Structure 1
Amino acid sequence: MENVAVRNEMKPLQKFFDDFLTRELFHNNWNNASRVPMVNILETDDAFEIEMAVPGMRKEDFTISLDNQVLNISAHLEEKVANEGNNEQYLRREFSYYAFQRTFNLPEFVEADKIKAKYENGLLRLYVPKKEEAKKKPAKAIHIQ
């Protein structure tokens, strides 16, 4: 009974992300899920911060777009091998191609024009600011007359 009360008191956006991530994990098979980068989503008073672990890539490998409040993050990495002039051959090669796509439905109260992305040390970070009216306001004392 306590869990139901706690869930009902959750912030609407936190509940949305929790529900989304749970549905996404159950709908992917484990083999496919292992190829999709895991994501951390942090909510602050002013913004959402999305972190995605994607080591071994360059920022040029990513495509990030926003269409009708749907944030799409995808990447395509194809390893090119030039064996000219050397006698080395792979006996087995399994990691010459890598691609993924993740999508997130953003709430209406984010500043879509101010989203920023940065890739550094294998971590893709997106900063998604909230509109002023959605930011948490400090507690206000009410004067009794």
Structure 2
Amino acid sequence: MDAGAVTVLAAIAAFGGLLAALAGGYGLRQARRVRRTGVRVEALVKRSPDSASDESALPRPLLQFVTEDDRVVEVVCPVTPTPQRPLNDGDHALVLYDPADPRTVVVHGRERLGLERAFIGGGTVVVLLSLALLAVVAMSR
């Protein structure tokens, strides 16, 4: 493979890694901000209307709660229930919501910060490997 093709592939990989790292950083920042400034309420877990058609997968349920200004908000749960920690129809879950945008919620105890950190770490590794590959190509010229 010639140096030009390797350079283009390394640049595309670096761009993808940068996007992954930025997405992870944004998600981590949002979760921390909502945990710090969010309003804590109890939400009713409701079965998603499309879950009746596909029983094989664990669909994300709906969370319904009342905001401080007495608006009823219904959002799709930001995390998927697991067999160890299910969110069954009729259950209650503690959520924190952003008062400026009540559709932005964090389910208490299920923030998935590990996933956000994995995006940051994986993206950073891809960027560093791409930069190292670019440096090798530059030195071989």
User: Which of structures 1 and 2 has the larger relative contact order (alpha carbons within 8 angstroms, sep 6+)?
Assistant: 2
TM-score range, shorter chain: under 0.3
Higher strand fraction (1 or 2): 1
> TM-score with structure 2 length normalisation?
0.23
TM-score, normalising length: structure 1: 0.23
